[in-house]
Structures are given as C-alpha cells and as structure tokens.
Structure 1
Amino acid sequence: MTGGGASRWWLGAVFVAFVIFLYGPTLTILVLSFQGPEGGLTFPMSGFSFHWYERLFAGAGVVDIWAAFGRSLRLGLVVMALTTAVALLGGYAFRRRFRGEGALFQLTVASLIVPSIAVSLGIALQFRILDDAIRALAEAGRLPTWLGAEDHTTAMGLFTSGLGAHLTWTLPFGLLIMFAVFNRFPVEVEEAARDLGASPWGVFRHAVLPLVAPSLVGVALFGFTLSWDEIARSSQAMGEANTLPLELQGLTTTATTPEIYALGSLTTGVSALVITVAFAAHALARRARRSASR
C-alpha cells in the first residue's frame, strides 16, 4: 500500500471515529428508549416495545410532557422570529457607517463571551430588583390600582426574562451570520434596482431579500434550535414554569426508567423535524421561483 493510500485509510478511520463519538450517544439513547416494560437504563435490552413512549404521551410519567413541550415550542418560535428579523435589519444597517457602530457590535457579541450561567443569574437578579421596586411603589400608592400591583408576585416568566435570556444567546449568532452575508453582498444589485426606478423599500424587498433568503433560513434554524435546547441561560430566568430541556435535566437526577430516554429522543426528533421542514420549504420556494421565471 502506498503512503497516500495509507494516509487515506487513517483519515477515513479518524472520520468514522469522530462520527461515532458525535452521534453514538444519541443513537444509544434512541435504542434504549425502546426498552420493554421491565427494561432499565442500560444494556442489555429487556425486549422491544413503545411502552415508555406510551407512558410519556399519556402523561403517566414524572413530567408533564405536553405542558413543557408547548412552552418550549412557543418560546422557540418567538425567539426564531425575533432573531431572524433583528439579524436581517441589523446586518443591513451595518452596511453603512454610523457613529458608535464598533461599540454596538462589541456589546452585541459580548454575551457570547460571558458564561451562560452568569447571564442567567444576572437576568434573574435584575427581575428580582424590578419585583421589589414594583412592590415598593404599590405599597406607597404610586401605581394605579387597575395594574393589580398589590398582588404582584414576579415579572419573571416565559416571554419576559426567559425570552430575554434566550435572545442573548441567539441574536449574536444571527447577527454574525448576516454580517458575513452582507459583507459579500454585491452592491451592483442595489444600484441596478435604483437605476430601474425602485424605491428604497422596493430595493430591499425585490433585490436584497430574495438573495439573502437562504441565509435567513439558517438564522431561523439557529434561533429555534438554540432556544429549544438551551439549559444554562434558562436555569435561573424562567420563573415558575420550566421548559422541556429543564424538565429533562431534572429527570437525570430523579428518573430511574427509560422514560428519560424517550423524552430525550423526542426533543432530538423535533429539532431534526424543524430542520428538515425548513430545508424542504426552501427547496420548494426555489423551485417555484424558477418555474415562475421561465
């Protein structure tokens, strides 16, 4: 065997080992989730059945799967929409020089450097200070009674502190992607659209948006999947109701059945489904545009 052939074999072996290391745990959990009713958390398997999925969907387990699933899904969709919109507009705005752009950029990506748990703790502390201020103002009679501040408990929740915590994670990624896209965007396209009489909105809608649409799909997927799987930034900032990843984390210390594997496989499947649907929708949209242009 020549030196080149040997090196290809070694590189192939390293790649296979990497794939096994990357996807092996996920596949192991998927297989173990189909344990029989008497099965445990490890091999060997005790039969094959959908018992733990049935138990999970029936709500007979240790976690209210549908409530946690719904909270994570709603939050993920809102985070996806906001991340996509802000990243698109922010990337487009940064194409032009303005005062303070450097400081704004640094502040935007700073949350990627700060440890996630520190961000979560900081957000929780801010909302505790806000809650104390609301109670103090209510006791002093400085808030309208119709606000119901007398019975105020906390402003923390899924779409307040939780949404803010997730956006500190997803927005920097979305902005960095769109910065890279717009740095390579051909200025001639916009100039040609303006020469043809397009308004600023027309240039953006008909010339810019169709060309950056594939990148927006990637930003949307980043936004949803990062929110869907986020634990550290959610740990202190969600308030009373947990998201699905937090419920899953709690099960790792309390569950003694393969139900936790069924739940983990379900969350992974949702992420894969969202990615598949997004790419399929993008492919269908491209095919429709090509058909319309013929």
Structure 2
Amino acid sequence: MGKRSTSFYVLAGFFGLFLLFLYGPTITIAILSFQGPQGGLTFPMNGVSLHWFHDLFQQQAVGDIWGAFRRSLLLGLMVMVATVVVSVMAGLAFRKRFKGSGVLFYLAITSLVIPSILISLGVGLLFDQLGFKVHWSTSGFGSQLTWTLPFGLLIMFAVFNRFDKSYEEAARDQGASAWQIIWHVILPIIAPSLIGVALFGFTLSYDEFARTLLTSGSYNTLPLEIYGMTTNVTTPVIYALGTLTTLFSLMIIALFLLTVWVMGKRRSRFGSDAGKGV
C-alpha cells in the first residue's frame, strides 16, 4: 500500500475533531457523574464513586424524575406505534398517483422546516381554543407526531419505490386476498424498514423538547424535567440522570438493531433452506 497523502491526514484530523465535538459533551457528563460525595459540577473531580447514581433513586427536593420518565416512555411508545401505522398506510396509499397526492405529500413534510417552538405554540393554542385540555398525552402527542411522521413517511416512500411487485402478483395468482397480501407478503418483506421507522418514532419522541414545551400541560416529560432541574439542582445528580437516560437510549437502539439482525439471519436461513428444497 502506498504512502497516504497529506489530505488524508487533514481529513482524518477534521473527522476526529467532529467526533470530539459530537460526543465530547456526553462523555464529559458521563465522567462528571462519577464524582465523589463532595464533588461539584465542574472539573477537577473530587473523588470517584457511584454516590450520585444512588442519590438519583432517593427522594429529590425538586422535580418528579421518575414520573417524567414514565410519561416520556409511554408517550414515546404511543408516538412509535402511531408513526409506524400511519407511515405504512400512507406508503401503501402513495404507491398509486391520485389527485392531490403531490400537495398532500408536501403538506406532510412541511412541518420539518417550521420552527419546532412554533409548532408547539400552534398546537397548544389550538387545543386551548377548542376547549380541550392541554396534556402531554393529547396535545403533546399530536405535536410530536408532526416531527416523527415526516421521517416515517419518507422512509416508507423510499421502501415502496423499490418494492418488487412481482411478490404481490405471485400471491394474487395463488388466490390471496388484498389483506392476506399485505399481512403475509408486504409486511414481512418491509419489516426491517418498519423497525427503522419505529426507532425513529420512539427516539425522536423520547428526547423531544421544543415541540413538547407548550403542549405538555401540568406534567413534564423527561426532557422538560431535566431542563427544569438545571435551574434548581446544583449537584452531579443531574449528570447521573443524563448518563442513565443516554444509556437507556443506547439500549433501545441496540435492541432494535439486534431485532433487525435476528430477522436478517432468519431470512437468510429460510432462503437457504428453500434453495436446498428446490
């Protein structure tokens, strides 16, 4: 292998700085969360311990950390399910051109370019004017869907644009109904993409702040609770919370990736078995 050019090292150094900029704050918070009992919010560290992780599970003077976590978890699951279902239905509907499909598509993704705080303000005002209660499970749920659905739709449109319709035609020739084709042919084939949409839906909802700020009502979600704690908590317990929530997010991502890997292995094994049978 020949000697690498100077540009390679320049770009490698730039990429390293990019990674440091991207993950440096998270790594810093993780390190500071292991401060000793007398530790503060900045370096240098005063001892090393798990004191603040233990303190996190005790009664806090301010806030409702675990209540906020439960709300964020439940809201994330609700948004995930709604995003997957609506994205699949829209993907199936847009496989054929219909009158107004272009306008409807652009309306669906316009929310990506509208400032998030304006979405939050608009949804909150709409619920208030209609006489509905502003609550994290209703108005918060709706405002977060304006963030997750466009991503789900774009993924499903890309998937169905390259979907081989010969599988459906073969199933139809065997007498399968439209629902049977969807359930037994289409959904199993696009399952890895559905997992991707679900991952987008959950993770984008779980850490969403701006679109929930004015639509959560009287009860905070976890991002709002953490933000509120920054003005009241003066100990590394907030770093311990940040570390645990980051680990939870990574575990969710790992679980989804593991599911995709297992499905890929099963598909390969079934394909191999079918080939041997032939």
Give the TM-score normalised by the residue count of structure 1.
0.88
Query: Partner letter of residue 166 of structure 1?
Result: Q
Aligned to 1:54: 54
Which of 150, 167, 176 does residue 189 from structure 1 map onto? 167
Tell me the alpha carbon deviations over residues 256-283 of structure 1, each in whole angstroms, 9 at most, x when there is no partner: 1111111111221111111111111222
- How far the C-alpha of 1:255 sits from its partner, in A, is 1.9
Aligned to 1:89: 89
Q: Distance in 1 between matches of 2:23 and 2:146?
A: 28
The alignment's C-alpha RMSD in Å is 1.6
Q: Distance in 2 between matches of 1:193 and 1:112?
A: 38
SS where residue 245 of structure 1 aligns?
Answer: helix
The 8 Å contact of residues 140 and 216 in structure 2, kept in 1 or not, is answered as: yes
Tell me the alpha carbon deviations over residues 66-98 of structure 1, each in whole angstroms, 9 at most, x when there is no partner: 101100000001100110111111111100111
Aligned to 1:18: 18
Query: Partner letter of residue 54 of structure 2?
Result: E
Q: Distance in 1 between matches of 2:3 and 2:237?
A: 50
Aligned to 1:264: 242
Aligned to 1:212: 190
Query: Does structure 1 residue 277 correspond to structure 2 residue 246?
Result: no
The 8 Å contact of residues 166 and 230 in structure 1, kept in 2 or not, is answered as: yes
Tell me the alpha carbon deviations over residues 193-239 of structure 1, each in whole angstroms, 9 at most, x when there is no partner: 22232221222222211221111111101000000010000000010
- How far the C-alpha of 1:3 sits from its partner, in A, is 7.9
Query: Does structure 1 residue 171 correspond to structure 2 residue 149?
Result: yes
Give the TM-score normalised by the residue count of structure 2.
0.92
- How far the C-alpha of 1:287 sits from its partner, in A, is 2.8
Q: Distance in 2 between matches of 1:76 and 1:175?
A: 18
Q: Distance in 2 between matches of 1:266 and 1:230?
A: 17
Query: Does structure 1 residue 123 correspond to structure 2 residue 101?
Result: no
Q: Distance in 1 between matches of 2:83 and 2:154?
A: 11
Query: Partner letter of residue 198 of structure 1?
Result: A
SS where residue 111 of structure 1 aligns?
Answer: helix
Identify unmatched segments of 5+ residues in structure 2: 274-278
Over the matched positions of the two proteins, sequence identity in percent amounts to: 54
Runs of 4+ in 1 over 6 A off after TM superposition: none
The 8 Å contact of residues 59 and 65 in structure 1, kept in 2 or not, is answered as: no
Q: Distance in 1 between matches of 2:16 and 2:233?
A: 33
Query: Partner letter of residue 245 of structure 2?
Result: T
Q: Distance in 1 between matches of 2:106 and 2:196?
A: 23
SS where residue 97 of structure 2 aligns?
Answer: coil
Query: Partner letter of residue 192 of structure 1?
Result: A
Q: Distance in 1 between matches of 2:262 and 2:159?
A: 22
Aligned to 1:72: 72
Q: Distance in 2 between matches of 1:75 and 1:12?
A: 40
SS where residue 253 of structure 1 aligns?
Answer: coil
The 8 Å contact of residues 79 and 224 in structure 1, kept in 2 or not, is answered as: yes
- How far the C-alpha of 1:122 sits from its partner, in A, is 0.7
Q: Distance in 2 between matches of 1:36 and 1:104?
A: 56
Higher mean C-alpha displacement, 163-172 vs 255-264: 255-264
Aligned to 2:114: 114
Aligned to 2:42: 42
Aligned to 1:98: 98
Q: Distance in 2 between matches of 1:33 and 1:122?
A: 37
Structure 2 CA distance for partners of 1:241 and 1:126, relative to 1, 3 Å: same
The 8 Å contact of residues 192 and 263 in structure 2, kept in 1 or not, is answered as: no
Q: Distance in 1 between matches of 2:159 and 2:269?
A: 26
